[in-house]
Structure 1
Amino acid sequence: MPHLPRLSPRYMLIPAAIAIAIAFAACGGSDDDTIQNNVPPIAQGRWIAGDLHTHTTQSADADVSQTLDKILGKAFTIYGLDWMAVTNHLRVSTRDDKGVLLAAPIPMATGVERYEMPRLAALQAGGSVGTYADKLIFSGFEWDMPTHDHIGIGIFEGSDKSAGAPLAVSTRGVREFEYLFTTRDAAMFDAADLTAWKAKYGDTRYNKTGDDALKAISWLKDNYPTTSYAVINHPSRNKGSYTVEDFRRFNDTAPDIMFAIEGMVGNQMEPDRGGYTAAYTAENAPLRAYGGTDYVVAKLGGVWDALLGEGRRVWNLTDSDTHFKIVGSNSSGYFPGEYAKNYVFNSATGTPTAKDLLQGLRSGKMFSVYGDLVNALDFNLASTSDRKEMGGELKVASGEKVVVTIRFKSPAKNNYEKPVDSGASASVKPVVDHVDLIVGDVGAKAAQGTAAYAVATNASTRVVKRFTSADWKTDADGYNTITYETTATRNQYFRLRGTNLGTDVAGLTQAGEPLADQRTSTADATQRFNDINDRNYRSLWFYSNPVFVTVR
């Protein structure tokens, strides 16, 4: 087997011909030249790590010490992210970016324009030590969706680099959204804006009902169809927030905007992992985190699999949801990049732009991880003439062979500290115990108004193969390689799940499935913080997005 090129953890650029030749060699294939000639080359680019859900002191429920400069320093200087969205609550702002109390509350959009964006621009201007000129940082927001829960939103305008001005945050869009879709006192907004909005909408605002929530998604589609996104945050944290019908309706309304669920949730330093505080009863099983992951994604054959089973391009991602880490006797979440990371493929060169990130997020070519269990993942499916990666669709003839290739790598150590928040590394190398290859059948998309629209399961979903270290080979660069051959007989999707846990670990896993995380309730605050941190680093997971197989 040929040696693969030496790559940094962020770069996994293997020519497709080499990758597929390796796969078929491992499976007993013999016509490597034909495979190399027929399979298209892999897209060139790099993996960029980031966080779509963060808060600073401009969110009232974040600690006053959670300044913008502090969070950026943690995210980029200490934890090495490439991009980050600052997503304060779409509520009134009472503090500036440094935590100074304002004379009177202002709309969140005003706070973004007056404090957040100017400071971001200064820090990204370059030319001096400590700036972030090579990072993508932008202002989004977290909206309290009527009758539901929180949605992370980004709104941009402009064009791409080749046409002149790159995409930039649409301050006018954020202002108009805040007016239309919150209960903010109209008197707080600029008089000229109010005149323009009333000319468009009259006195109507949309801030109370489920139909109003859908109106907001339609508004994004009408006004920013290719330059906005809306991610469903911590979907099961509060009872009754969403049904599978809601997910379908959102996605049907604007599939290029509502394309992701924050399945691997933030607030991991909470005593109730992820901040999922519903009573620990059997009927509340869907309101729990499982290995830190929301039930919607963690449940094999559950809501996410039901959506994928219709061929919906709905992706999973993770975030920090940082508000503060440890303050007094309370703990909440890790800093951006400390524990949770999204790796998104960026095909462009140079500093990523908002357009690059949007393209990467929409493509589904991304994976999410806790505790740096892996920092590199290549997952693709190939026929003798084509090859597709996460988010892609491989079209094959019935009965055609398909080879699954999985390559992953873990860092020499992660950010585990003992004691927690001490700066003292525990010097622990994360080790993957096993990787599950999960498959589910793909059928017709459910139609609104039918019984199928309310079905929240996919009975066909199963772990088709569980790989352990006995199944992979580790090369000189630390990449573990697995191949698996199957025969395409029907439309399906394949996805990955990996963990550092064994298949049957008391209180954590059973038959390979994650169990509901239990509350860490140590009375002494300092000991509790350390127990929570130990709990989190003991239970690490990563999830890939799927690759679809369509039989012609």
Structure 2
Amino acid sequence: MRPFLLLAVLAAPLSACAADHDRAWQAGDHHVHSEWSVDWDRSTTPPTPVPGGDSPYTRSRNARQALHYGLTWMVHTDHGGPGHSAVTRDRAWPALEQARRDVPALIQFNGMEFDVPAAEHASLIIAPSARERDELVEIERRFSRNERVDGVQRDDLQTMLDALAHMRALPAPPLMFVNHPSRTATGVGRWGDVEPAELRAWHDTAPRVLVGMEGAPGHQAIRSERGLYRNASAPTFGGFDQMTTQVGGVWDALLAEGRRFWITATSDSHHNLRDGGRDYDPGEYSKTYVWARRDAHDILDGLRHGRMFAVTGDLIDTLELTVRAADGSTPAATLGETLVLPAGATMHIELKVRQPTTPNAHGQRPALAQLELIVGHAGTGDAPRMQTRRWSAGTWRREGAWHVVRWDLPVPAGGGFVRARGSSTQEPTPLADVRGEDPWRDLGFYTNPVFVDAAPVR
């Protein structure tokens, strides 16, 4: 187990952060496809890219839809293929420049759905700079699993580790989030192309690059298999991936080791349901809210450091999760931050959430049915020790527009973490999603954690 660090940044509450740094909740989506997720004519050597193969939409169209559904930022993430780095350089990059001109109100990042060597997919987000085109082209050309037009074998763990080492050494390191991590699982806890050991190896190699995973995968509009999790024995749960939803599961195990490892929600938009597809537009159903200024670099900083929460169906649009000493002797820490308290001291946890004042994209104003606080710390062996407390509607406090819950409990001896979630259902634990389920009747949110380090008692 990795010990919790005693060095920490003690943060002011969110309201103070807003005053000091002009930060606010910025909604976004880091997994969006366009016409440059091409098909391939394999009758030629090398294969010829065919625009529109996996999505009919231009990048400008996607940007307009993202803005329409309330997003501040978006990442363009077309997937690769044999020699796709040339498409990235010559076609997708000019399309991004055009989209930035067409929709200047939306912050748009250069990126791709990276074909992870010896695994599946990840969202790669390039930091804006004069080299953002060339950095992405080089990463794809050298390390993408499916780039293989030169005969070089790239489908092995070492190539992924080399890719991460290359990225962490860049002057402005990019970000990477693992996409739909359990989509190839064969059961609950029976992993496919993405295994917990791989997540640990990748994170060990570049903890400031490979920073998390999709907690809620895209493709939520399809009714036959939510999220395209096609194996009925390994579905999503309330629209979220099993690695995220299982209390004491993979995500909690990583957090109990002290890893700063975050979750997000994305659309994985290819082809909208209205147009005969199986997806929602960016921001139409899923959003990742980042506590940041309306600035590309600060949004990336928020993504890198876990100042964010994931939500579906606009169940909420604002929250505050804070942890402080119950006696008021410390400032509060919030999402992604660390608070140092003596072991055994009482910590005070407060969760405040607010729901939108306007209907969601489905014309609904969904009711919030429950809130849950989740506390974890290292246990014996690989399994973390967990505590939870749940409130149903009517049992929490109302303070103006806020729904508020509070919990006081001792700091775990070895330190730990606090996270929160809520949903529009009465399910105490999210149930497996089934064929035909209406995603708009099963909404949820998950926060990223606040860490608590246990200082020695003097």
| Aligned residue identity for 2:392 | T
Name the CA distance, whole Å, in 2 between partners of 1:237 and 1:169: 33
Q: 1:266 aligns with which of 194, 199, 218?
A: 218
Q: Does 1:54 align with 2:16?
A: no
1:430 to partner: Cα distance: 1.6
Counterpart residue number, 1:277: 230
Structure 1 gap ranges (5+): 1-11, 20-40, 93-106, 126-130, 157-165, 188-203, 418-424, 445-451, 504-511, 521-531
Alignment match, 1:412: 357
Equivalent residue letter for 1:359: D
Local SS of the residue matching 1:112: helix
Secondary structure of 1:88's partner? strand
Q: Distance in 1 between matches of 2:220 and 2:131?
A: 29
Give the alignment partner of residue 513 of structure 1, picking from 429, 435, 452: 429
The answer to whether residue 193 in structure 2 is matched with residue 246 in structure 1 is: no
The corresponding residue for 1:484 is 407
User: Is 2:157 the partner of 1:210?
Assistant: yes
Q: Which amino acid aligns with 2:407?
A: Y
Letter in structure 2 aligned against 1:300: V
1:319 aligns with 2:295: no
Contact kept? 1:439, 1:495, Cα under 8 Å: yes
1:307 aligns with 2:307: no
Instruction: Check if 1:390 corresponds to 2:335.
Output: yes
Cα deviation for residue 488 of structure 1 reads 2.0
3-state SS of paired residue (2:310): strand
Could you say if the C-alpha distance between residues 54 and 367 of structure 1 is closer, same or farther in structure 2, counting changes exceeding 3 Å? same
**Residue 494 (structure 1) shift:** 0.8
Distance in 2 (CA, whole Å) between partners of 1:117 and 1:356 is 23
Name the aligned partner's letter for residue 184 of structure 1.
Answer: E
Q: Which amino acid aligns with 1:365?
A: R
- Aligned equivalent of 2:277, options 331, 346, 354: 331
Alignment partner for residue 341 of structure 1, among 260, 284, 287?
287
In the other structure, the counterpart of 2:8 is none
TM-score (norm: length of structure 2):
0.85
Task: Tell me the CA shift for residue 415 of structure 1.
Answer: 2.9
CA shift for structure 1 position 315: 0.5
Residue of 181, 187, 196 corresponding to 2:143: 181
* Cα deviation digits, residues 425-453 of structure 1 (max 9, x gap): 3xx21221111101111369xxxxxxx6x
CA distance in 2, matches of 1:380, 1:206: 47
CA distance in 2, matches of 1:171, 1:404: 43
The CA distance in 1 between the partners of 2:371 and 2:396, in whole Å, is: 10
Q: Is the 8 A contact 1:124 1:132 kept in 2?
A: yes
CA positional deviation for 1:72: 1.2
SS of equivalent to 1:300: coil
Alignment RMSD (CA, Å): 2.5
In 2: Cα distance, 1:314 partner to 1:396 partner: 22
Question: Which of 66, 69, 72 does residue 82 from structure 1 map onto?
Answer: 72
Q: Which has the larger radius of gyration?
A: 1
1:299 Cα deviation (Å)? 1.0
Distance 2:423 2:148 in 1: 48
**Of 335, 339, 344, the match for 1:399:** 344
Conserved 8 A contact 1:155-1:169: no
Alignment partners' CA distance in 1, 2:62 and 2:137: 24
2:207 and 2:272 mapped to 1: Cα distance?
34
Give SS of 2:333's match.
Answer: strand
Query: Given the alignment of the two structures, is residue 237 of structure 1 paired with residue 163 of structure 2, yes or no?
Result: no
Instruction: Confirm or deny: 8 A CA contact 1:379 1:405 kept in the other structure.
Output: yes
Contact map agreement 1:416 1:537 (CA 8 A) in 2 = no
CA contact (8 A) 1:399 1:487 kept: yes
| Equivalent residue number for residue 98 of structure 1 | none
In structure 1, the partner of 2:443 is: 540
Q: Contact between 1:180 and 1:206, CA under 8 Å: does it hold in 2?
A: no
AA aligned opposite 1:326: L
The match for 2:312 among 370, 373, 394 is: 370
TM-score relative to the length of structure 1: 0.71
Q: Which has the higher helix share?
A: 1
1:387 deviates by 1.0
What is the aligned counterpart of 2:377 among 434, 441, 455? 441
Distance of aligned partners of 1:89 and 1:378 in 2 relative to their CA distance in 1, 3 Å threshold = same
Per the alignment, residue 108 of structure 2 pairs with 137
Summarize the Cα distance change of 1:388–1:44 in structure 2 as closer, same or farther, 3 Å threshold. farther
Tell me the matched-pair count: 418
Answering whether residue 390 of structure 2 is matched by residue 466 of structure 1, we say: yes
Q: Once the 2 structures are TM-superposed, how far is the Cα of residue 291 of structure 1 from its aligned partner?
A: 0.6
Match of 2:56 in 1: 65
SS of structure 1 residue aligned to 2:140? helix
User: Distance in 1 between the 2:91 and 2:434 partners?
Assistant: 40
Deviation at residue 64 of structure 1 after TM alignment: 5.0
The answer to whether the 8 A contact 1:180-1:205 is kept is no
Look up the match of 1:524.
none
Counterpart of 2:211, as a letter, is: F
Q: CA deviation at 1:482?
A: 2.2
SS state at 2:210 partner: coil
Cα displacement (A) at 1:123: 4.3
- 3-state SS of 1:152 partner: strand
Aligned amino acid, residue 73 of structure 1: R
1:321-350 deviation digits (Å, cap 9, x = unpaired)? 00012377x53211000000000011x4xx
Identity %: 30
